Amino acid sequence: MSRTPPVSMVCADLFGTMVADDGMVDKAFGEAIGTQGIVPGTAAYARCMVQAHQASGEACIAIFRKMFPGNEPCAQVTNLAFERSFGAAIDRMGLSALPGAEAAIDKLTGAGVRVCLVSSLGRSLLGRVLDTMGWWDRIDLALSPDDVTRGCPWPDMVLTAVLRLEIPDVREVAVVGSTESIVLCGCRSGASIVAGLPTGVHSTQKLGSIADLPDLVSPDPESVSATAQIPLESRRTGL
Please check whether residue 176 is in contact with residue 18, taking contact to mean a CB–CB distance below 8 angstroms.
Answer: no
What pLDDT sits at residue 198?
Answer: 67
Among residues 192, 139, 124, 168, which one has the least CA distance to residue 17?
A: 139
Please check whether residue 210 is in contact with residue 17, taking contact to mean a CB–CB distance below 8 angstroms.
Answer: yes
Helices (H), the chain: 24-34, 43-54, 60-67, 72-93, 101-110, 123-133, 156-164, 180-189, 213-216
What pLDDT sits at residue 205?
Answer: 39
Please check whether residue 87 is in contact with residue 207, taking contact to mean a CB–CB distance below 8 angstroms.
Answer: no
pTM: 0.86
What pLDDT sits at residue 5?
Answer: 80
| pLDDT per residue as tens, the chain (239 positions) | 456 689 999 999 999 899 998 899 999 999 999 999 999 999 999 999 999 999 999 999 999 999 999 999 999 999 999 999 999 999 999 999 999 999 999 999 999 999 999 999 999 999 999 999 999 999 999 999 999 999 999 999 999 999 999 999 999 999 999 898 999 999 999 999 999 886 543 333 367 789 999 988 874 544 433 334 444 333 334 46
Q: How far apart are CA 42 and CA 198, in angstroms?
A: 31
CATH H-level, domain 9-21+96-229: superfamily:
HAD superfamily/HAD-like (3.40.50.1000)
CA distances from 154 to 60, 73, 230 (A): 14, 24, 17
